[in-house]
Amino acid sequence: MTSFEGGDLVKISYSVLLLTLCLFVSFFLVFFFKMKKQIRLLENILYVDPITGGYNDNKFREVASKLLKDSSGTYAIGCVNINNFRYINDMYGIECGNKVLADMFKKINDIVQDEGCYARVIADHFEFIVKYFDRETFIYVLKTYLSNIEANINDTDKVALKCSCGLYFVEDNNEKISHMLDKADIAIKSISEANSSEINVYDDKYANVLARNQKYTLSMEKALKDNEFKVYVQPKIDLITEKCIGGEALVRWISPSMGFISPGEFIPLFEKNGFITEIDMFVLEQICKDISKRLSENKHVVTISVNQSRLHLNNKYYVNNIEEIINKYNIPAQYIELELTENSFLDITYEIIGIINRLRRQGFSVSIDDFGSGYSSLNILKDISFDVLKIDQIFLNATDNDDRSASIIKSVIDMAHEIDEKVVCEGVETKEQVELLKKLGCDIVQGYYYAKPMPLEEFNAYLDSH
Ligand code: C2E
Ligand code: CA
Ligand code: CA
């Protein structure tokens, strides 16, 4: 029989304690490294742009703000767009397009060097902040630099990138970074469709645009509550029967103090501040309510399309939210078409493809709006199935003096029919255009030739009388 002395017991207790401590330390180390790895992963998602491997917009804002606070130098903040990027994407494919974006990122590094920071925001849109000494010299150097950028397409081919740039010379380092970026953005948006490299500098003449935007931002929520947003509908006409087979809902802001405000003025702002998602759901709800009322009165009902901002595609509850609205009014999904502009698909992810497929499975029609205006029209059709393709008005305008434009429309119509999609042509204003589109095989038209957008109640009367 073994007997333990007091000293043995103490030794055993020490060993157990040591073992527990070792176990605890190893668990702690494993946990610590795992956490560190996860934090790094999270940081990557939050702060790194997957295409260039550099900063994304979030990180840029953080670093740029710190830079301005810690430094007393003079800074310029700018944004750069590649004007001809969509041709590169369409002609050489998305993979090559991504490589061009990464190359462009390196070129911006050459401009900024160690004197600031830079990032890709989205698609072909970059931003930077850089120290400068003399405005004229800085603009001269930047202009020379931007007009000589080439990107490698493959081992042998290069393509010249045509860029535009909006600049804001920082006056007060304590100004909010978002305000400074807004100013650079206004400067770039004010560049006309020039085909060459161009730099536009923000100055006070743009201040009224900022003031107007601020006024709209302050009043938008109350305006929605007070029913200042009105739904207009523009009829869509079947080209074979010449009957109204649907309509597109278009929002208007009729403010008692500011008057009639067209969507072109407030939609881009709402896209930026996110309020557009509420407007879109409001419009959808008004349309559902109206369809439900007409169905209960046994009146003729047509499918109405509603414009949907690309911001919805980042919301995992988007499809559920839409379903909730149509269930609330108990209307079949077939009466609703969701229009998403081509620019909603700048990045095509599995999540986005999933959303479109889910909507279509639920019975909604999904259309691709402004087809041909974005930078990657054909790639989108390759990856996502739609029900309707809406040809951008610019193609139609171009047909007036150009047979090639008519041939392009014809090819788009044939291709859409090949993949079982209907074609709507927008902005039809003349009889000649109607005749041409009939000849080219277009299915549906929409435009002032038949009817302008009208208040919802007027559209109902129009439907009843046609
Ligand atoms: P869109 O979706 O491309 O809408 C067509 C625009 O073309 C409308 O401008 C319409 O009034 C106009 N239009 C229709 N027929 C003709 C024509 O024959 N000639 C000409 N020159 N124009 C015609 P609107 O109503 O000013 O809307 C502008 C844009 O605002 C829309 O372009 C759409 O992108 C956006 N939008 C309007 N309502 C909403 C909305 O509820 N939600 C979202 N997300 N966007 C909206
Ligand atoms: Ca539309
Ligand atoms: Ca359109």
Instruction: Mark whether 284 and 183 lie in a shared domain.
Output: no
Give the integer Cα–Cα distance in Å for 150 and 272. Answer: 31
Residues 6+ apart with CB under 8 A from 97: 85, 88, 89, 376
* Per-residue pLDDT, 192: 66
Helix (H/G/I), strand (E/B), else coil: 251: strand
Q: Choose the weakest-confidence range: 31-40, 69-78, 377-386, 428-437.
A: 31-40
Average pLDDT rounded to a whole number, residues 13-27 = 78
* Per-residue pLDDT, 400: 67
Token code pair at residue 109: 């590094």
Could you give the dihedral angle defined by the CA atoms of residues 210, 212, 217 and 220, in that order, rounded to the nearest 10 degrees? -160
Give the integer Cα–Cα distance in Å for 126 and 250. Answer: 31
Q: What is the mean pLDDT of the chain?
A: 90
Residues with CB under 5 A from ligand 2 (ion): 307, 339, 369
Residue 213 is assigned to a structural domain of this protein: no
* Per-residue pLDDT, 195: 47
Q: Is the pLDDT of residue 373 over 80?
A: no
Partner residues linked to 128 by β-bridges: 78, 118
Nearest to residue 83, comparing CAs of 11, 188, 183? 188
Instruction: Mark whether 139 and 267 lie in a shared domain.
Output: no
Average pLDDT rounded to a whole number, residues 26-46 = 71
Domain region containing 89: 57-202
Ligand 1 binding pocket, CB closer than 6 Å:
234, 250-251, 262-264, 267, 276, 279-280, 283, 307-309, 369-370, 426-429, 446-448, 453
Residue 339's pLDDT band, with cuts at 50, 70 and 90, is: very high
Nearest ligand to the CA of 278 is 1
Residue 39's pLDDT band, with cuts at 50, 70 and 90, is: low
Instruction: Mark whether 432 and 331 lie in a shared domain.
Output: yes
Give me the helices (H) in 226-275, please: 263-273
Residues 184-216 pLDDT 10s: 998 998 886 444 568 999 988 888 888 899 899
Which of 167, 202, 237 terminates a domain? The answer is: 202
377 alpha carbon – ligand 3 mean position (Å): 14
Instruction: Mark whether 226 and 195 lie in a shared domain.
Output: no
Residue 234 near residue 214, CB atoms below 8 Å: no
Instruction: Mark whether 426 and 321 lie in a shared domain.
Output: yes
Instruction: Mark whether 193 and 319 lie in a shared domain.
Output: no
Residue 211 is assigned to a structural domain of this protein: no
Residue 215 is assigned to a structural domain of this protein: no
Domain of 181, CATH number, reads 3.30.70.270
The C-alpha angle with vertex 367 and arms to 362 and 373, in degrees rounded to 5, equals 155
Tally the domains of the chain.
3
* Per-residue pLDDT, 8: 72
Instruction: Mark whether 150 and 188 lie in a shared domain.
Output: yes
Instruction: Mark whether 422 and 337 lie in a shared domain.
Output: yes
Instruction: Mark whether 290 and 394 lie in a shared domain.
Output: yes
238 alpha carbon – ligand 2 mean position (Å): 17
* Per-residue pLDDT, 27: 75
Token code pair at residue 455: 């208040």
Which of 11, 26, 47 terminates a domain? The answer is: 47
Q: Is the pLDDT of residue 352 over 60?
A: yes
Nearest ligand to the CA of 233 is 1
Residue 444 is assigned to a structural domain of this protein: yes
Q: Choose the weakest-confidence range: 178-182, 230-234, 322-326.
A: 178-182
333 alpha carbon – ligand 2 mean position (Å): 18
Residues 256-272 pLDDT 10s: 999 999 999 999 999 98
Give the integer Cα–Cα distance in Å for 219 and 105. Answer: 38
* Per-residue pLDDT, 123: 87
Residue 52 is assigned to a structural domain of this protein: no
Residue 376's pLDDT band, with cuts at 50, 70 and 90, is: low
Determine the atom of ligand 1 nearest the C-alpha atom of 448: 18
Nearest ligand to the CA of 397 is 1
Nearest to residue 138, comparing CAs of 107, 169, 105? 169
Average pLDDT rounded to a whole number, residues 357-364 = 97
Residue 133 near residue 74, CB atoms below 8 Å: yes
Determine the atom of ligand 1 nearest the C-alpha atom of 231: 41
Residue 258 is assigned to a structural domain of this protein: yes
Residue 195 near residue 108, CB atoms below 8 Å: no
Instruction: Mark whether 248 and 159 lie in a shared domain.
Output: no
Q: Is the pLDDT of residue 10 over 90?
A: no
Average pLDDT rounded to a whole number, residues 329-351 = 91
Residue 207 is assigned to a structural domain of this protein: no
Q: Is the pLDDT of residue 225 over 50?
A: yes
Residue 167 is assigned to a structural domain of this protein: yes
The rounded percent of the chain whose pLDDT value lies above 90 is 65
Instruction: Mark whether 432 and 287 lie in a shared domain.
Output: yes
Residues 380-435 pLDDT 10s: 888 899 999 999 888 777 766 677 788 888 999 999 999 999 999 999 999 999 99
Domain of 361, CATH number, reads 3.20.20.450
Instruction: Mark whether 426 and 451 lie in a shared domain.
Output: yes
223 alpha carbon – ligand 1 mean position (Å): 20
* Per-residue pLDDT, 43: 67
